[in-house]
Structure 1
Amino acid sequence: MNVKAASRDDVLSVHRVPPQLMGAMPGEKGSFGDVEKAARVFAINELMPVMEAMKHVNDWLGEEVIRFNPYALLDTQPIS
């Protein structure tokens, strides 16, 4: 068992960030695929729900104190 690989994999799984977005290197014979697609999926599945949940603080306080800019990759068409 490779301790470095296990530690890297643990960090990636805990933070739920695709490895190519964290700068991890693929294994000897693999690749991570399209970085842009991974970033889009990560934004939709992970970032957007957290951002929406954080906006509830505005409701509790009665004023807008938390605001997010649109995620730039979601505003553009995917490159085919």
Structure 2
Amino acid sequence: MTEHDTGSTTPSAPAPDSVQVIKTIADHLDQDPTEVDFTFSDYLDPDALDSLLESSTEELVVAFTIEDLLVTVANDGTIEVKCYEN
């Protein structure tokens, strides 16, 4: 008897916050995350964002702009993207 792949998978770890931010921005722009017109790391270090959010022991919200978007990320997993107005 041979073993067969049952198609089951082990749940993977949640994506880092920076990946979720990129997906949320892409959704807001109605684009695929691989086709957005900017490079996230040109605006913010994704590893630093992940480290900051993961290591915080108190409520933390980080806000930054990318192009004409205001992005806010909280360490509770909340991500908001809005058009930035001067």
Name the TM-score, length of structure 2 as normaliser. Answer: 0.23
The structure whose residues are more often strand, as a share, is 2
Q: TM-score by structure 1 length?
A: 0.24
